[in-house]
Amino acid sequence: MLIDLSYHPITLTASVSHAISFAKWDWVVLGGYAALLVVTGWWTAKRNKSADTADYFLGGRRMPAWAVTISFVATTLSAATFIGGPEQAFRGNLAYLSSNIGNVIAAFVVAFLFIPAFYRRRVSTVYELLENRAGAEGRIAASAMFMVGRVFASGARLYMGALAASLVVFGDIDAMHVMWGVVAFTVVGIVYTLIGGVASVIWTDVIQFFIFVSAAAIAGAILFHRIPVPLEQIIDALRHPDLLHPDVPSKLTWLESGLRKETINHSYTLISAIFGFSLFGIAAYGTDQDMTQRMLTCKTADRGSKSIIAAIFLGIPVTILFMLIGLLLFVFYRRPDLMGINAPSYGVDDSRKIFLTFILREMPTGVSGLMMAGLFAAGLSSLNSALNAMASAFTNDVYKKIAPDRDEGHYLRVGQGALIGWGILVGAFAVVCIAWQSGSEASLIDFALGVMTFAYSGLLGVFLTVLLTKRRGNAPSVIAALVIGFVIVLAFQPFVWDRIWPGGWGVVRLAFPWQMLIASGISFAVCLTGRSNGSAVPDDGRS
């Protein structure tokens, strides 16, 4: 039986207000999700009252590993995966899945090299690990770079969540309307995160994970049902996506070697996964306080290590689900020969809107609300944890050095104030992303991942120096490595690169995994030039 579309009768037109709208029951479902957030926040805040910064930022190191695993997955997926995953498969193929090869490699490196070192030192933030080698200056510099990079990364993800909010409320993704979406997400994210600290974030992530995965599964089932041909024909259409041009590559391709000239600079190949995404993953899981903070909430290093490995493997099938949705969207919107009379009567002019448009126009009443609740859950889960992590880094790495020997109540208030400040900065950068991404040729996922390399490149070079050598790296070389990593990635951006190498060199584009490889390699070499009087990472016998 075909689903009645009468509740979304207006065509998609950017100039018409409320061209895409929610029905009454959609708002009821979305309101139920908001109520669930309020109840969860109140419950976790009451259950986990924070008396000091250790409780507020680390959950007293008593969080169960399974909850940490799910929270980690919820944060890594975010709105970028919810919107960008389907878009990536819709406009390309399944090659993005090859990045998981590098992610698996990275997870094991972090689990066996980074996390044990963090627990031996009993750090509150991962940047404390650097202080023994590079002094307070090195620790503060690394923490500051993380905070700058996290503003970039979280702002990009917040922008993607705001795209959805704009489409729901205003029926378009006009820049001003997206900006209002940014404001709404920022206010909700700040208030909610402020309530209960990292324990609240983790338990909320668990609930939101199940919401957005369930939403995606329902969307995939409905989408598959709407295509009136058997699975065999769908697969054949994806293998031959363009009837007029048989040489167009299959959309089912998930692994390219990257050895051919035309694919050497692609983001998602076997070579880029092994040499680029493995480094990217090590930086994300081992040097980014937003990610590592979760592992530090476990009771032991062993539990923290197991949680990250489990998280990576749990995230793979979820990513596959979103990519398959993108393939089905391609058949639905780009193969009218298969859809027949069921083909949509409207077009979608922007691939960023492809999944959102399907949700708002083709889903039954009430289900659209569930889908958008899933998307907002993905967006909020990554924003909440980022704000908490940045507040933790500022309080423990910066403020406690400036104002030592204050009582824990004072530091807790400072951390909460920092959380508000970082939330405002993240929102401001999300507004910048409206112009940055719309003027870029990158897909949403490429854009979200690419902005992270600005901070990750230098941080990875610094941490590898400290963990792999005994005496290399001091404050000047750490600071230089962080700055150089950032500057190299900046130089690779088209608006800078085209001015550095005009003409022939100007058309060369390095994909962000290769930018990461080059920038982190140079940062590592720079950091090695410094020689420290400090020792290797100390072992206090606790793990």
pLDDT tens by residue, the chain, 543 residues: 333 333 233 233 333 333 455 677 888 887 887 787 777 766 766 665 555 555 666 666 777 888 888 888 877 776 678 788 898 899 888 989 999 999 999 999 999 999 999 988 888 888 888 888 888 899 999 999 999 988 988 888 888 888 878 877 777 778 888 898 899 888 888 887 776 666 777 777 788 788 888 888 988 999 999 999 999 999 998 998 877 666 678 899 888 876 665 566 778 888 888 999 999 999 999 998 888 877 888 888 898 899 999 999 999 999 999 999 999 999 999 888 898 888 888 877 778 788 888 888 888 877 778 777 777 776 776 787 788 888 888 888 888 888 888 887 888 888 889 999 999 999 999 998 888 877 666 677 788 888 889 999 999 999 999 999 988 989 999 999 999 999 999 988 877 777 776 654 545 577 888 899 999 999 999 999 988 776 555 444 333
- Quote the CA–CA distance of 324 and 346 in Å, as a whole number: 22
- The whole-angstrom distance between residue 347's C-alpha and the CA centroid of its chain comes to 29
Under DSSP, the state recorded for 536 is S
Between the alpha carbon of residue 277 and those of residues 133, 187, 222, the distances in Å are 27, 33, 33
Q: Give the pLDDT of residue 360.
A: 81
- Quote the CA–CA distance of 361 and 171 in Å, as a whole number: 11
- Quote the CA–CA distance of 470 and 534 in Å, as a whole number: 9
Q: What are phi and psi of 260, to 5 degrees?
A: -75, 150
- The whole-angstrom distance between residue 326's C-alpha and the CA centroid of its chain comes to 18
In angstroms, the first-to-last Cα distance of the chain is 58
The CATH architecture of the domain made up of 24-435 is: Up-down Bundle (1.20)
Q: Give the pLDDT of residue 355.
A: 87
Which residues have a Cβ under 8 Å from the Cβ of 463 and sit 6 or more positions away? 114, 126, 129, 130, 286, 287
